Structure 1
Amino acid sequence: MFKIRNALRRAAVQADSIIFCKTGRQHSRASISTGLQQQNGTFYEFRTYYIQPHLNAAFHKLTSEKIHLRTAHSELVGYWSVEYGGLNQVFHIWKYDSYAQRAAVRAALAQDSNWMEQYISKAMPMLSSQDNEVTYLVPWSKIQKPAKEGGVYELVSFQMKPGGPAVWGDSFHGAVSTHAAPGYAHPVGVFHSEFGLLNRVHVLWWYESADDRAAVRHKAHSDPRVVSAVRQSVAYLDSQRNKLLFPCSYSPLN
């Protein structure tokens, strides 16, 4: 009986060790996949405004005149009008160091009479709806401004299969890298959703023009390395949507 009890204890210890090793490896993989963005707190809020068609020009004029009231409170990464992939839309990205900072910014904006009276009271009736999404930069990406001003941007949104970066992160990284490394396109940033539709990844690309984008994509899709990497990545893909963006004159990414 004594020997049996000791054997059972040893088996339990071994089982605990196996579980610990497995969970340790899983935790390590998760840390690699999700990266430092959750640790340092910095996140990017994607905001999309849908403008009533007959008020599109008026909205852009008002925003160009009053956006300084908003940027006085927090950092604007970029502001674009959507040219293809969605009419009468603007898309903008705001950077925050923490959720507490965002809450403080929103509270301060609500108390800013100039912002409320000169912009919000006039802009909100021009919108038919609005949407937002909280994203983090994936661990292998950082915001990279294009070498030139102007040009066009493409926001490519991938709805990946459930499981998160731990499942599809390596394949997705490979697909982006094979486009970026040969210079087919300039990646401004790669973002992973936190609030909004989950398992969504956004890649923001820059091109010199819409025609340059068309030529570059045609060339890239004849590159065997790109074709191979994309084939591996699409195994984890549910859907994809592209928008071509024109930077507004007041956009930091312009």
Structure 2
Amino acid sequence: MSSVAKVVRSARGLLLRGSFKQAATQLRADISTGPQQQHGTFYEFRTYDIKPDHLSAFLKLTDDNIQLRTAHSELVGYWTVEHGGLNQVFHIWKYDSYAQRTAVRAALAKDHDWMSKYISKMMPMLNSQDSEVNYLVPWCKLGKPPKQGVYELVSFQMKPGGPAVWGPAFQAAINTHDSPGYAQLIGVFHSEFGDLNKVNVVWWYESPDKRAEMRHRAHGDARVVAAVRESVTYLVSQNNKLLIPTAFSPLN
């Protein structure tokens, strides 16, 4: 029996004994709480849709000027999307606080070189931009790849309720892929601004063909199958993107 089901059964018992207020308080507290963030560090996920005939020029312009941007805050990784979104780039920026991000954005707006050499030339190449704030889940640390390879961004839209409801099952599913070496985990992130109840998982593989091979092996592992079956009961939808690191990406 799941932890939520046990809580619900206990609450029903209290209700039958006439302790409505006590039951409601217990149910609300047990379902809504869980492992909490212990620090203010967050990660901004930015996705840009580039005009198809400008992608090469956009990447060269960014490569030539990225140092102007990284002088202000830390770049975690920068990728082009190979599958799952055509003519897209995806990048992750790290901030220690919202105050830091506000200060960085203000400084960038006043940075003449950044605005004239990059922003003024880059903006006409874009179709759209998207920004999402994420925190690393409490049980995960940001990993590093052993060597150059490819990445996969898997975005899971979970049912409402938060990690206190679906967290243990989701963690178990992640561990059955990571621990046996079917994929190397870079990070598990929980959305704060953007689509709520969304989990973004970044994996590393040696190559796209190696990913296909390891996925085939994982699908034959009874531990993986059991863990996934449990976690998908909380799943609404899923989106996968194959990411190719740029030459200037710290994660490459």
Letter in 2 for 1:67: I
Give me the TM-score of the superposition, normalised by structure 1. Answer: 0.88
Q: Name 1:236's counterpart in structure 2.
A: 234
Instruction: Give a deviation string over 1:122-167, Cα, whole Å, max 9, x none.
Output: 001100001010000011111100111x110000000101111111
Match of 2:245?
A: 247
> Aligned AA for 1:225?
R
Measure, in 2, the Cα distance between the counterparts of 1:134 and 1:196. 7
| Counterpart for residue 30 of structure 1 | 33
The residue type paired with residue 30 of structure 1 is: T
The residue type paired with residue 126 of structure 2 is L
1-structure distance, mates of 2:150, 2:24: 49
Matched, 1:57 2:56: yes
Aligned to 2:180: 182
Gaps of 5+ in 1: 1-14
Q: What residue is the counterpart of 1:222 in the other structure?
A: 220
What stretches of structure 2 of length at least 5 have no aligned partner? 1-18
1:209 aligns to what? Answer: 207
Report how far residue 22 of structure 1 moved: 2.9
Taking structure 2 as the reference length, what is the TM-score of the superposition? 0.89
Once the two structures are superposed, the pairs formed by residues 46-85 of structure 1 within 5 Å of their partners are 46-85=45-84
Equivalent residues of 2:187, 2:201 under 8 A apart: yes
Please state whether the residue corresponding to 2:33 is helix, strand or coil. Answer: helix
Cα distance between partner residues in 2 of 1:105 and 1:154? 28
Question: After superposition, what is the alpha-carbon deviation per residue over 1:42-100, rounded to whole angstroms, capped at 9, x for unaligned?
Answer: 10000000000000100000000000000000000000000000110000000000100
Deviations 1:185-206 (A, max 9, x none): 0010000000000010010000
Between 1:139-148 and 1:64-73, the stretch displaced more is 139-148
Q: Structure 2: how far apart are the matches of 1:158 and 1:21? A: 30
Q: CA deviation at 1:31?
A: 4.0
Contact 2:34 2:163 in 1 (8 A): no
State the match for 1:192 in structure 2: 190
State how far apart, in whole Å, the 2-side matches of 1:42 and 1:195 are.
Answer: 14
Where does structure 1 differ by over 4 angstroms across 4 or more consecutive aligned residues? 15-21
> Are 2:79 and 2:249, in contact at CA under 8 Å, matched by a contact in 1?
yes
CA distance in 2, matches of 1:111, 1:161: 42
DSSP 3-state at the match of 1:79: strand
Q: Distance in 1 between matches of 2:91 and 2:98?
A: 18
Equivalent in 139, 153, 159 of residue 155 of structure 1: 153
Task: Count residues in correspondence.
Answer: 235
Alignment of 1:96 with 2:100, yes or no, is: no
Determine the C-alpha separation between the residues in 1 that align with 2:34 and 2:164. Answer: 9
Take 1:129 and 1:249, find their aligned partners in 2: how far apart are those partners?
A: 23
Change (3 A) 1:240 1:23: closer
| 1:5 aligned partner | none
Q: Is the 8 A contact 2:45 2:90 kept in 1?
A: yes
Assess if the C-alpha contact under 8 Å between 2:172 and 2:227 holds in 1. yes
Letter of the structure 1 residue corresponding to residue 179 of structure 2: A
The answer as to whether partners of 2:48 and 2:129 remain within 8 angstroms in 1 is yes
Q: Does 1:172 align with 2:170?
A: yes
Q: Render the CA deviation track for 1:160-181: whole Å, top value 9, x for unaligned.
A: 0111111110110010000001
CA contact (8 A) 2:176 2:224 kept: yes
Query: SS of 1:239's equivalent?
Result: strand
Larger Cα Rg: Structure 1 or Structure 2? 1
Task: Evaluate the alpha carbon distance shift between residue 87 and residue 165 of structure 1 in structure 2; reply closer, same or farther with a 3 A threshold.
Answer: same
Aligned amino acid, residue 30 of structure 2: Q
Q: What percent identity do the matched residue pairs reach?
A: 66
C-alpha separation in 2, matches of 1:63 and 1:104? 22
